[in-house]
Amino acid sequence: MTARSAAKLMLPMLVLLLAAAVYYSLVSGRTQRERPVLAEKVWQVEVMTAQRQVLSPHLTLYGRIESPELLKSAAPGGGIIEAVFVRSGSTVKQGEPLVTMDRRDFNAALLQAEADLRDMESQIAELEIRHRSNQSALQTERELAALADAEVERLVELQRQKLSADTAINAARSELGRRQLEVTARQFDVDSYPTQLRILKARHDRNQAKLAETRLAMERSDLRAPFDAIVSEVDVAAGDRVSLGQMLVSLFPLDTLEIRAHLPTNYIESVQRAMASNETLFASVSNRSAAERLPMLRLAGQAEATGIDAYFSLEGSNTQFRPGELLALNLELPAESNVFAVPYQAIYGNSRIYKVEGDRLLAIEVVSIGQARAPGQSVQVLIRSEQINDGDLIAATHLPNAVSGLKVEYSE
């Protein structure tokens, strides 16, 4: 082997030995660090001291203004609108004109109804005259029938004496039959008089009612406000042709507005107890510039799965309110005992809070009663739970990762 070949073999080995020496030097000279010890994180919270109280909870409701006496005036008959005196939102006094229709459209119907009534009165008068005539004729026909009967008896007696022919007797009996038929027919006319009179009087009453209806329709063609009201909607304009029953204008009285708000299921029992004891509940609403105290009138007749509707009176309120307007109400519920007032940030999911025991959190299930605002304080939630005692510490800081056993530090 030549020196050149030996050098080619030794060079890689020298490189490897040099690298191994450098690595060993680096490892042996490394500074040894202590492994860090993991410490549990501690969360800073504020706490409050639980104290049982007797408080009146407040409940925020959202209601809509309605009018149970919304009046919708319809056309009393077909015709042309002559004039419209109001617009939507107008305030009117009792007796003020709203809409008028052309009365000429009602004149023909009125004349026809009057003519039908006069015709029926004439028929009744004619029937009474005919009845008196029938009574007089019946007496005469009875007398003629009696004479015919006597003639038959006379001829029969003469026939027994062989003084009369059969043809004379037959003619007399035929005359007697005709007289008896006339008596029967005349008697029927007399006996049927009360029935015919009742029929004609019934028709007379119908015609009289139709005449009164026609006159009433003519009077109603001049629509006037039946009470002090606000016009809600106007559906026609001057010159429009309308049909019977078509809506013309709607309006509502100023003193019958109500607010309908949905009362959640959790509060129905408390409200019903107060109403059963004749206690009036009030709600407040911000009305532009002044606070209104609105008494609760009643609960709806039908409940839903989520609760029941409650009605509040707006009687005596000013004219700024309108049906359909949405309002936020603050309902003052009956006073509740053994409740705790906590800030909103202490509540988790509307049914859970956390007590602080030592340096750990403990989840407590609670029942939300409502909300209350103490003078000079923010709105607080009223809760009730058998697991909370006076003096317990309640976490008042909302933690996104709060669970039972979480380590905390607190300051009161």
Q: What is the pTM of this model?
A: 0.57
pLDDT band at 257 (very low <50, low <70, confident <90, very high): confident
Count the neighbouring beta carbons within 10 Å of the beta carbon of residue 342.
21
Greater pLDDT, 169 or 139: 139
Stretch (H or E) spanning 289:
none
pLDDT, mean over the chain: 83
Whether residue 166 is found in the same domain as residue 270: no
> What is the rounded CA–CA span in Å between residue 393 and residue 354?
9
Same domain, 247 and 214: no
The answer to whether residues 173 and 203 belong to one domain is yes
Co-location of 228 and 83 in the same domain: yes
Answer whether 314's CB lies under 8 Å from 321's CB: yes
Residue ranges making up the domain that contains 404: 45-55+336-411
260 falls in which pLDDT band (50, 70, 90)? Answer: very high
User: Out of 6-10, 29-33, 291-295, which region has the weakest mean confidence (pLDDT)?
Assistant: 29-33
pLDDT in tens, 66-105: 888 888 888 888 889 999 999 988 888 989 999 999 888 8
Q: Average pLDDT in the 11-21 region?
A: 74
Query: Does some domain include residue 21?
Result: no
Is residue 288 a part of any domain in this protein?
Answer: yes
- The Cα 51–Cα 338 span in angstroms is 9
With a cut of 70, say whether residue 153 has pLDDT above it: yes
Higher-scoring residue by pLDDT: 257, 308? 308
Lowest mean pLDDT across 59-68, 173-182, 254-263, 303-312: 173-182
Domain contains 32: no
Residues 41, 38: Cα–Cα separation, whole Å = 9
Give the CATH number, domain containing residue 248.
2.40.50.100
How many domains does the chain divide into? 4
> What digits encode the pLDDT tens for the residues 26-82?
766 665 566 665 677 888 888 888 999 888 888 888 889 888 888 888 888 888 999
Amino acid at 58: H
CA pair distance 307, 246, nearest whole angstrom: 37
Contact 264, 306 (CB under 8 A): yes
Q: What is the average per-residue pLDDT within 166-170?
A: 73
Instruction: Give the side-chain half-sphere CA count within 13 A for 401.
Output: 8
Q: How confident is the model at residue 289 (pLDDT cuts 50, 70, 90)?
A: very low
C-alpha radius of gyration, the chain, whole number: 52
Please tell me the total number of residues recorded for the chain in this structure: 412
Tell me: do 225 and 157 sit in the same domain: no
Domain stops at, among 198, 218, 238: 218
CA atoms within 13 A on the CB side of 285: 24
Does a structural domain hold residue 202?
Answer: yes
